[in-house]
Structure 1
Amino acid sequence: MPATPVVEAEPRKRWLSVLAKAKPAEVAAAWDGLAQQPGYRVLRAPEIGMVMVRGRAGGTGDAFNVGEMTVTRAAVRLETGVTGIGYVAGRDRRHAEIAAVVDAMMQSPDLRPLAEGIVDPLETAQLQRRDAAARKAAATKVDFFTMVRTRGPAA
């Protein structure tokens, strides 16, 4: 069985993030729209669990626990031997499994162009939503100013 190809960490982080943050319906529609889906076997069936979310006071201060959130994870191996993982927020098992398959496809030189047809539109949709939210927030921005009071001439 061939080993999983070595992929640079930064590009993989990007596509795993896109897959994790995508709406489950968008992921399923992109997956169902593929002309050919690769064969794979499930290594770790999608399972639901909890993770602790941590934050930092003021963004840079001391770390603190914000609370727990539900995540679903899965792991698959393509017929070519490439292994993929998927971690998604929430309880959508199909989303996690598809994310794992697409992760494996992105690592495979032969299947990467097919997988990019899933990841790139998902990323574009996320950027458009983020831009729309930023424009909406900017439209409600209020600039406050302070007038300096001066004392008049002494009488």
Structure 2
Amino acid sequence: MLDTPSDLPPEATARRGWMGLLAKAPTGRVAELLAALGPRPATTWLRAPESGSVMVRGRAGGTGAAFNLGEMTITRCALRLPCGTVGHAYIQGRSKPCAEAAALVDALMQTDQAPKVEAAVLAPLRAEAHSRRARRAAKAEATKVDFFTMVRGDD
């Protein structure tokens, strides 16, 4: 059984990366970037976009026993390109157009259009995610308190 990312074939690891990026993208951003590629190819629905909820699990300290943290709303869908390539999407929230755009990007990344989609959609999303993380880290750093021990001198 494949458990760790190092056990996965390289194409599965790459797909895991872009699927995570698409799932966490801000609402409407994937569709906006995808529109720059021109007209969308015809697709066939395997599973039309539908919203639901999933249980989010957590671990205390990242290593403790798993516990149910709460539910999160997601939208999922699956589509097929005319060439037979299938794209899937699971995104946060209830935006059906965002799920459709993410599934289309997933499908296109498995075709010969992958370099074009990478440059037009995934690279900007990756840069924006990095910028958001850097801003959040800088904001947290500004609140950092350095504690130190002072010698009292009564020894």
Normalising by structure 1, report the TM-score: 0.87
Distance in 2 between residues matched to 1:25 and 1:71, nearest whole Å = 15
Of 126, 129, 134, the residue aligned with 2:129 is: 126
Alpha-carbon shift at residue 36 of structure 1 (Å): 3.6
Gap runs ≥5 in structure 2:
1-8
User: What's the Cα RMSD here?
Assistant: 1.6
Alpha-carbon shift at residue 67 of structure 1 (Å): 0.6
Number of equivalent positions: 146
Residues 12-48 of structure 1: per-residue CA shift (max 9 Å, x gap): 0000011111112211211222224222111100000
Distance in 2 between residues matched to 1:138 and 1:80, nearest whole Å = 49
Would you say the 8 A contact 1:7–1:107 is kept in 2? no
Describe the SS at the equivalent of 2:77: strand
Gap runs ≥5 in structure 1:
1-5
Q: Percent identity?
A: 52
Alpha-carbon shift at residue 145 of structure 1 (Å): 1.7
Distance in 1 between residues matched to 2:27 and 2:83, nearest whole Å = 26
Alpha-carbon shift at residue 132 of structure 1 (Å): 1.2
Runs of 4 or more above 3 Å deviation: 148-152
Of 74, 83, 88, the residue aligned with 1:80 is: 83
1:105 matched to which residue of 2? Answer: 108
